């Protein structure tokens, strides 16, 4: 509850809510809330249980006051509350039990203060003003400044050439080697391998987002994403193949926008067919990693995809990556012939290491984690450094956000519902 405050997310939340057990407490709090410029209607007489139920399905406020008078396990209920509160929420508890041990335990649980009933107007006013001061305090001078967001889309020119394997490794390297908070969005909702590659259960978050786009916000994202490590989180699915996913792309675009507000890097594993059907998914991409291989069919498809990207993602820098590169004698097409046919050089060559790929699959780890000294991983490390350096110094073309800026997603969804 007292994790670092995210100001971008907090802008979408109520400044204050209170959940109390009796009329007396409600009447004592409402005039003080009004003094602070908050709506007295945000004082609810539903108690602690009502607070937990409400915040489980809606964004928590910046400052939250809860009444512990109706519970026999105050510490347990505060812990339950912490499970549904967004990071940065400042929690003030009130109650009837005057016990220094309880006070210390509650404070250690992360609440801001514990006040005894009956409430003193002056004490409540002082506590709320202290909470506001903490909420709006400037960041410490030594805190690491926010880094420029890095938006990356990974697309394979053909199926089965390892684009998803590269996407997973790039996400891991962004998080673990460069220390950037990273979201990996796997948009192959039926056969995606991001979760499988990291030995994780994909969860239902992505399917829920597609079915209910109006629910997508920072809180939904926090609960739906699966953490692979402290800095890497993924959102993927294994939807039943008997249930086709029908979407106009609004949910995917909104997911990317929420990720952009929350993470320093957003990396999208984007199936080729979905990219062609929903070109809007590339509107926020600063870099497109186009994965190919040195074969005749891949050369043909690379030519077509490069031309398509030039028209549909002109703002993005395209990095052409040749994956699974084997010795020249084993390649279907020589590198020089391949580059001549597509009329541009290959930016990155990733040698094929079959043993590393097999070991990574068996252990459920990205190849970048297992092959730290491998010649297969070295080009990926150079690639993420290049991508992030471009985002940091602004040399990459800025993400094209016009479409996202013009659309009010909530209003659009409401309109669609009304005409259905």
Report the distance separating Cα 327 and Cα 355, nearest Å.
Answer: 16
Q: Which residues pair with 321 in a beta bridge?
A: 291, 348
Beta bridge partners of 96: none
Residue 201 CA to residue 163 CA, distance in Å, equals 20
Which strand (E) or helix (H) includes residue 124?
helix 121-135
Decide if 175 contacts 266 (C-beta within 8 A): no
Which one, of 275, 253, 195, lies nearest residue 227 by Cα? 195
Q: What percent of the chain has pLDDT over 70?
A: 87
Residue 149 DSSP code: P
| Token reading at 225 | 């994403």
Helix 296-312 to helix 335-342 angle, to the nearest 10 degrees?
Answer: 40
List phi, psi (to 5°) of 118: -70, 145
Q: Are 112 and 134 contacting, i.e. CB atoms less than 8 angstroms apart?
A: yes
* Pair 171, 164: CB distance under 8 Å: no
Q: H or E element: which one contains 66?
A: strand 63-67
Q: What is the mean pLDDT of residues 115-127?
A: 92
Query: For 52-61, 143-152, 222-231, which range has the lowest pLDDT when averaged over its residues?
Result: 143-152
Given this model, what pLDDT does residue 138 score? Answer: 58
pLDDT score at 142: 42
| pLDDT, tens only, 70-101 | 888 888 898 888 878 876 789 999 999 998 88
Q: Is residue 405 very low, low, confident or very high in pLDDT (cuts 50, 70, 90)? A: very low
């Amino acid at each position: 509850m007292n994790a670092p405050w995210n100001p971008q997310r907090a802008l979408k939340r109520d400044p204050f809510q209170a959940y109390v057990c009796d009329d007396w407490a409600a009447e004592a709090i409402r005039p003080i809330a009004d003094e602070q410029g908050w709506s007295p209607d945000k004082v609810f007489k539903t108690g602690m249980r009502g607070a937990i139920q409400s915040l489980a399905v809606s964004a928590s406020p910046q400052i939250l006051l809860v009444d512990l008078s109706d519970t026999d396990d105050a510490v347990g209920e505060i812990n339950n509350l912490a499970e549904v509160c967004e990071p940065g929420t400042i929690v003030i508890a009130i109650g009837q039990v005057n016990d220094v041990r309880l006070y210390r335990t509650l404070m250690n649980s992360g609440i801001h203060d514990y006040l005894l009933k009956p409430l003193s107007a002056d004490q409540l006013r002082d506590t709320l003003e202290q909470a506001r001061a903490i909420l709006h305090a400037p960041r410490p001078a030594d805190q690491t400044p926010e880094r420029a967001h890095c938006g990356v889309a990974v697309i394979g020119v053909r199926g089965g050439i390892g684009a998803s394997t590269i996407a997973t490794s790039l996400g891991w390297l962004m998080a673990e080697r460069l220390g950037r908070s990273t979201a990996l969005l796997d948009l192959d909702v039926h056969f995606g391998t991001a979760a499988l590659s990291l030995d994780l259960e994909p969860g239902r978050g992505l399917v829920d987002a597609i079915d209910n786009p109006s629910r997508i916000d920072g809180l939904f994202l926090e609960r739906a994403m699966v953490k692979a490590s402290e800095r890497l989180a993924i959102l993927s699915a294994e939807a039943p193949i008997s249930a086709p996913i029908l979407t106009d792309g609004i949910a995917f675009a909104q997911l990317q926008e929420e990720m952009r507000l929350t993470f320093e890097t957003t990396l999208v594993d984007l199936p080729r067919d979905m990219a062609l059907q929903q070109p809007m998914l590339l509107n926020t991409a600063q870099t497109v990693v186009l994965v190919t291989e040195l074969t005749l069919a891949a050369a043909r498809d690379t030519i077509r995809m490069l031309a398509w990207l030039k028209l549909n993602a002109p703002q993005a820098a395209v990095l052409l990556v040749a994956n699974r590169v084997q010795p020249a004698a084993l390649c279907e097409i020589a590198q020089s012939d391949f580059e001549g046919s597509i009329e541009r050089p290959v930016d990155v060559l990733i040698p094929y290491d079959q043993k590393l790929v097999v070991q990574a699959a068996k252990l459920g780890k990205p190849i970048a984690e297992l092959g730290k000294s491998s010649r297969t991983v070295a080009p990926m490390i150079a690639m993420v450094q290049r991508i992030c350096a471009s985002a940091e110094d602004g040399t990459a073309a800025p993400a094209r956000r016009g479409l996202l800026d013009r659309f009010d997603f909530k209003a659009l969804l409401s309109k669609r519902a009304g005409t259905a």
